[in-house]
Chain A
């Protein structure tokens, strides 16, 4: 396993696509040290910014010890191996990831897991905006894999979700969680903000806590005692089940905890 420790606090954005188990694979430590990165607009090498060490564990794992909140594009498109970050990490973490695992013992910045296809990302702190969401103008949402965030997530997360699971355990999500999703599952263990599932056409969002406000373009379908989150887990209800988004003639489902959402009682008359 390779261990990277930032040599100093970074003020300019660091673009470091090379920090990727697929890239490090098969390279000597001296080669890894010379891999190119950018600090602002200056081309540098990895060893200009990090202490690069190898320990005697022969695993395709990269461990980063320290604050890398300015370091962007770590783990892009990775297929094999693991990255463990002991600190806060910058934008585009694990974008288009195709396998194995990233663990963040800290916060992740925006666009973590953007358009990911497979693999697991665990963020033990908070995640920024656009978690798992595709790039501007693209509808290439997350297609598979699993993202678990212990803290809060920012706005516009899980947009165009097309498969896989996003679990949010923190107190808050931002607006537009699950925007235009068509498949896949989002489980909000606590509270969800406004415009949840706007424009969704399929898939499901489960809110075990409070739903701040339901879009007017959802209609009540039924009440369910529990709902499957994935193969290993179910969420305990009872849940109001809403169907929508009607503006898209969607058949997505929002499960909102009945106990925690008394304000939704008025929908019962339509059942």
Chain B
């Protein structure tokens, strides 16, 4: 019967249309309620900004690939150590923090829900074991489905319904939340060291194209009524001139029946918005891409914003990671997973004086500022690919303050400075729009009904920041704003204060969410299917699913499919 009342803050709750009004937020038993008794614990939020807890739609924080990244970078950890305290476990950062540190740092910034965007189904148990060790935040994970042999085969046959049943089954047994597609067709091709170079290339040995995979799975997603759309990392990511592939991809997805809910989410868009045709004449295609986005409503996006630092790239896009290895010569991990996906990891430094990196930095911001509707474009770094997640406050400063952007731009490579559109863009994202891009839009795109807002019935996940919107002009005082976003005044998780003044003061395990998708007919798991399973994988069918044992705090969501 715990009651809390957050009094007198400036509340930003875009899903419920609240734009900085002075109001109280009442919490009872971990949920937002209409009102509470006078016994409620009082949090005085006078002069402070109150938002729903942050929601991160795409951050690589758990699983086989992330952990291999940790293992190969002791020199990265040694510069960022975290000591044990009475309240917290020890750990390390920098670009790939250990699990406890991941939870603490997210919470310290006011985040309460994080989504791990990439999970090889075969390694799902590992992902869940790690998610269990990320405290203070609720979490979920997206299984990689785009190059899964069953999916390729059913889509090639045109059997969308059986494909949908398989995907539903797989979502349930891996305890996943959304359909993740990376460089569709490219990952299977990489099994023999090849790649696809356009959305109409044939995938070797499977007679299917990336276009067919994406559109097919988008339709499957609709049939299954999954809360999020397909989550897509485009073909040709990271290559100069790839914006044309991105445009083709977005156009291809216009074919998917659209009923008001986006049919796809294109992730870390910055990496897919490159112009030019080589590294020498590399440039931004943010204008072309944002033009299209402003005219179409069937897609959502997240930024993948570059931070100038030494970070680690890790994606399921094995061929792309190999390209980075050939460019940089850094230590390189390749990690292909049978029947399912590929993967790669490589440390990478983004430097201000590097023309390409500086342009990349500009591209992310250009996209966010040129796309008019903040509900379409969410703030991420594709952690850790474009930068570690605890750099988010820097991005918030760049988004909300032209001065902040110019201060960084003027130290960048001269060529990049000349090409950048940022000097001509005056838009400064407001605090309200920021609340959209960092929590409301993310929760909405994910279909998380109880997150990202402070309406009655929502989970009592709240972030309170030391910013008085009436007296602080965050566009001018961007350093103050940055500091405020780095260390929340309060982070409240399920009604409990877990962070105060940027310090962890409470404990919460956080829940793992996944989808229990109910199709009219279940997926056909007969002896023939099991024997095929046995041929495709090197593990027995019985040992493949993730049992309940692997999830510490369970939060399954039942979905009724239309198939």
- A contacts, CB < 8 Å to B: 134-138, 140
Interface assignment of B87: CB less than 8 Å from any CB of chain A: no
Q: With A136-B75, A137-B74, A137-B75 given, can you name 6 additional A-B contacts, CB distance below 8 Å?
A: A134-B75, A135-B75, A137-B73, A137-B76, A137-B331, A138-B75
| Chain A neighbourhood of B74, CB < 8 A | 135-137
A-B contact pairs, 14 of them (CB 8 A): A134-B75, A135-B74, A135-B75, A135-B78, A136-B74, A136-B75, A137-B72, A137-B73, A137-B74, A137-B75, A137-B76, A137-B331, A138-B75, A140-B75
| Chain A neighbourhood of B72, CB < 8 A | 137
Query: How many Å from the CB of B405 to the closest CB on chain A?
Result: 32
Q: Classify the interface of chain B: helix, strand, loop or mixed.
A: helix
Q: Which residue of A lies closest to B77 (CB)?
A: A137
Query: How many Å from the CB of A41 to the closest CB on chain B?
Result: 11
- A134 to B74 alpha-carbon distance, docked (Å): 12
Q: Which residue of B lies closest to A137 (CB)?
A: B75
Question: What string of 1s and 0s marks CB contacts (under 8 Å) between B77-108 and chain A?
Answer: 01000000000000000000000000000000
Query: How many Å from the CB of B23 to the closest CB on chain A?
Result: 48
- A137 to B75 alpha-carbon distance, docked (Å): 6
- A248 to B247 alpha-carbon distance, docked (Å): 41
Closest CB pairs A-B (n = 7)? A138-B75, A137-B75, A136-B74, A137-B74, A135-B75, A137-B73, A135-B78
| Chain B neighbourhood of A135, CB < 8 A | 74-75, 78
| Chain A neighbourhood of B78, CB < 8 A | 135
B311-369 interface with A by 8 A CB criterion: 331
| Chain A neighbourhood of B73, CB < 8 A | 137
Query: How many Å from the CB of B85 to the closest CB on chain A?
Result: 15
Query: How many Å from the CB of A82 to the closest CB on chain B?
Result: 27
- A140 to B76 alpha-carbon distance, docked (Å): 12
| Chain A neighbourhood of B331, CB < 8 A | 137
- A145 to B331 alpha-carbon distance, docked (Å): 28
Query: How many Å from the CB of A202 to the closest CB on chain B?
Result: 15
Q: Which residue of B lies closest to A136 (CB)?
A: B74
| Chain B neighbourhood of A138, CB < 8 A | 75
- A136 to B331 alpha-carbon distance, docked (Å): 12
- A134 to B79 alpha-carbon distance, docked (Å): 13
- A140 to B74 alpha-carbon distance, docked (Å): 13
Question: What string of 1s and 0s marks CB contacts (under 8 Å) between B49-79 and chain A?
Answer: 0000000000000000000000011111010
Q: Which residue of B lies closest to A135 (CB)?
A: B75
A135, A137, A138 pick with most chain B CB within 10 angstroms: A137
Query: How many Å from the CB of A108 to the closest CB on chain B?
Result: 21
- A223 to B74 alpha-carbon distance, docked (Å): 42
| Chain B neighbourhood of A136, CB < 8 A | 74-75
- A138 to B72 alpha-carbon distance, docked (Å): 10
- A136 to B78 alpha-carbon distance, docked (Å): 10
Query: How many Å from the CB of A156 to the closest CB on chain B?
Result: 15
- A195 to B78 alpha-carbon distance, docked (Å): 29
Query: How many Å from the CB of A16 to the closest CB on chain B?
Result: 18
A134, A138, A140 pick with most chain B CB within 10 angstroms: A138
| Chain B neighbourhood of A134, CB < 8 A | 75
- A138 to B75 alpha-carbon distance, docked (Å): 6
Q: Which residue of B lies closest to A138 (CB)?
A: B75
Question: What string of 1s and 0s marks CB contacts (under 8 Å) between B522-551 and chain A?
Answer: 000000000000000000000000000000
- A136 to B75 alpha-carbon distance, docked (Å): 6
| Chain A neighbourhood of B76, CB < 8 A | 137
B73, B74, B75, B76 pick with most chain A CB within 10 angstroms: B75
Query: How many Å from the CB of B408 to the closest CB on chain A?
Result: 26
| Chain B neighbourhood of A137, CB < 8 A | 72-76, 331
- A138 to B310 alpha-carbon distance, docked (Å): 12
Query: How many Å from the CB of B411 to the closest CB on chain A?
Result: 24
B413-441 interface with A by 8 A CB criterion: none
Q: Which residue of B lies closest to A140 (CB)?
A: B75
| Chain A neighbourhood of B75, CB < 8 A | 134-138, 140
- A134 to B78 alpha-carbon distance, docked (Å): 12
- A140 to B78 alpha-carbon distance, docked (Å): 13
- A137 to B312 alpha-carbon distance, docked (Å): 13
| Chain B neighbourhood of A140, CB < 8 A | 75
- A140 to B72 alpha-carbon distance, docked (Å): 16
- A136 to B73 alpha-carbon distance, docked (Å): 8
- A134 to B73 alpha-carbon distance, docked (Å): 13
Q: Which residue of B lies closest to A134 (CB)?
A: B75
Query: How many Å from the CB of B532 to the closest CB on chain A?
Result: 42
Q: Which residue of A lies closest to B330 (CB)?
A: A139
- A138 to B74 alpha-carbon distance, docked (Å): 8
Q: Which residue of A lies closest to B78 (CB)?
A: A135
Query: How many Å from the CB of B129 to the closest CB on chain A?
Result: 24
- A134 to B76 alpha-carbon distance, docked (Å): 13
Query: How many Å from the CB of A114 to the closest CB on chain B?
Result: 12
- A16 to B483 alpha-carbon distance, docked (Å): 33
- A137 to B72 alpha-carbon distance, docked (Å): 7
- A5 to B75 alpha-carbon distance, docked (Å): 33
Query: How many Å from the CB of A184 to the closest CB on chain B?
Result: 20
Query: How many Å from the CB of A147 to the closest CB on chain B?
Result: 21
Query: How many Å from the CB of A115 to the closest CB on chain B?
Result: 10
Q: Which residue of A lies closest to B347 (CB)?
A: A137
Query: How many Å from the CB of A142 to the closest CB on chain B?
Result: 15
Query: How many Å from the CB of A135 to the closest CB on chain B?
Result: 5
Query: How many Å from the CB of B163 to the closest CB on chain A?
Result: 43
- A148 to B74 alpha-carbon distance, docked (Å): 29
- A137 to B68 alpha-carbon distance, docked (Å): 13
Query: How many Å from the CB of B79 to the closest CB on chain A?
Result: 10
Query: How many Å from the CB of B345 to the closest CB on chain A?
Result: 13
- A135 to B331 alpha-carbon distance, docked (Å): 15
- A136 to B76 alpha-carbon distance, docked (Å): 10
A134, A136, A140 pick with most chain B CB within 10 angstroms: A136
- A136 to B74 alpha-carbon distance, docked (Å): 6
